[in-house]
Structure 1
Amino acid sequence: MTNKETTPLNYIHKDDIELFIRDNIEIFNKQQKSFDNKILEKAGCNFKKSEIREYLKTKLFNECEENKAKLLKRLEEYKYKIKNIELIANEFIYCQNDLRKTYENWFMEDLEKEGYKEIAKIVYKSILDSSNLDKGKIKIISNNLLKTTEKSVFLLLKNGFSTNRTNINSGIMTANAGDSAQFLFISRAILAGYNCSNVDVRSSRYDAVIDYEGDIFKVQVKGISGEKISFKDRDRGGIGIDSTNEHNIGKIITKDDCDIYVAVDKQVGICYIIPMIEIDKNYSDEQKKSVKLRELEKYKENWTVIDNLKSILKH
């Protein structure tokens, strides 16, 4: 099957989501565009794509421990080739992306059992061996570096912060994850010594404020998990909402909305602290929709942006 070809869905069980997914799981894992809500509605299905995703996620959540031995054995039989996870997902009727994340979590747990402190010592030694720092400088930082490396490796082997351990509905979890990123930044800002407060009014175009030496800076916070940042609000969607209506389409973020845009890596809490005046200057509205993280590396944990914002805004 080429990329342009699509396999038609089997609608025999369009009134039963469990049987419908069973009949179409291979297509779901191969070409999810076939599960567009308009296509499902036209065919008379009484469920949406989001409900299919939720069903599959819950099914794996409820069955993964019971089926763990079988799933691990099957992957071993497939020589641990990532491309074959799709075949296993089809066999057990799971979403392949969810199953891959489950395998990743299991194998990270196996790695953790080897002892994070021993692994941290290896990482620590590697850092020192590859450094060109003067031995006197290394002696001063070595103790603190080892302790920090141990903490970092511990989090690394946990695959970052725990997420959705209770299998909350994905829609609710998305909203909660947004709140978590917001409070992560506020906590980090306070810890860094800034007077930072949450903004409770959800209709506001910013999420937090920083009072720095008498000036108030508006901050919009977004959680990220991939390699790109979008300076655009999410489109409104969900049951009964027309996402194509102009009132429901997310707006481009500008310096008129906030002074600082903060992207928080939800996995480990790293903050990209970005002055919106520079984004407006260097990116068009179309480019703002998807900016690669590597283009914004200078803002990674760059808390001096807040210190320098007064002079930046003056120019």
Structure 2
Amino acid sequence: MKKRTNNIWIVLDSRGFGGIESHVEQLALGLKAANNQVSIVFLQNYGEHPLQRRLMFSGLDCIMLDGRIASLWQALKKEKPDVIHTHGYKAGILVRPIARLMKVPCASTFHSGEKKEGKLQWYDWFDRHTAFLANHVYAVSSPILSTLPCSAKLADNFVDTSKITPSFGTEIAFVGRLCKEKAPDRFSVLSKRFPHLDFHVYGDGPLRSELEQKAPDNLEFHGVQKEMHDVWPRIGLLVIPSRAEGLPMAALEAMARGIPVVAFNVGSLDQLVRPNENGWLVKQGDMEGMISAIQDWRQSDSVQKAQWSKEAIATVKQRFSTEAVVPKLLADYATFAK
């Protein structure tokens, strides 16, 4: 048996809680459960962070830096991790060259595939074109993988299913950041087509104010929830109307609890959602198709809903669980962490 990496750094730059942060939480917990020492390193301290509280509650070490390259260098020199795993463009751009100079093995995961605008497009370009400095590069979906100009591999997002219980909720919900790529505006349009049903939005972002001003009476905004564990049991159907995606953690979290997903066929959702078995995949932008899927869910009987729930749970456990993914990742680490 190959020796497991003892000291792993997971590095990111983060102000809030979204898909990357959810991925990092699951990764950290999975690596810790496999008997590794794990530290989550925040490059910049923006104040109290929801992910930091969650990680520390789970007994994980968090390191808050001050954003300076010198501080990063000194922390690396002092702690001497066996492997660094970066997430997000800033972490990748800053950490990879320093890790290469200090001869610390480094992996990078790319989570974003949507087209960037303004300064972000240049950061995104630089991030991708310096990815070769990492020992191993991952992408969370096939479309993202296709944008990387270096050797890389697909890495499935995953969730810890060991303590998750099935949901028997009834809410129709959107869970995620309220931004153009996630298309909460489409969710608002859907709610107007079902005025007799309540629709729920869990999340925050730049579009929230505009959406709330135009929202119908049956659309309720809950904001970011400190503990989604308390929310998932209320949800019966997760709607993902995104214009761009990787493999959204919200979909995995939902299906792990037996909540079927109706989504536009973007990113790697076709690897997770099997139409008429554990959810619905609709052609991108086909709002009538999504309306039909919601009606299908509403009109189904308890036996059919139980079958969708069973298939959703089985799909996540077999391919997108900690037990399925973390051993593969540790095997990769072992190839360059010597």
Greater Cα radius of gyration, structure 1 or 2: 1
TM-score by length of 2: 0.28
Higher strand share: 2
Q: Relative contact order: is structure 1 or structure 2 higher (C-alpha 8 Å, sep ≥ 6)? A: 2
When the two structures are superposed, what TM-score results if normalisation uses the length of structure 1?
Answer: 0.30
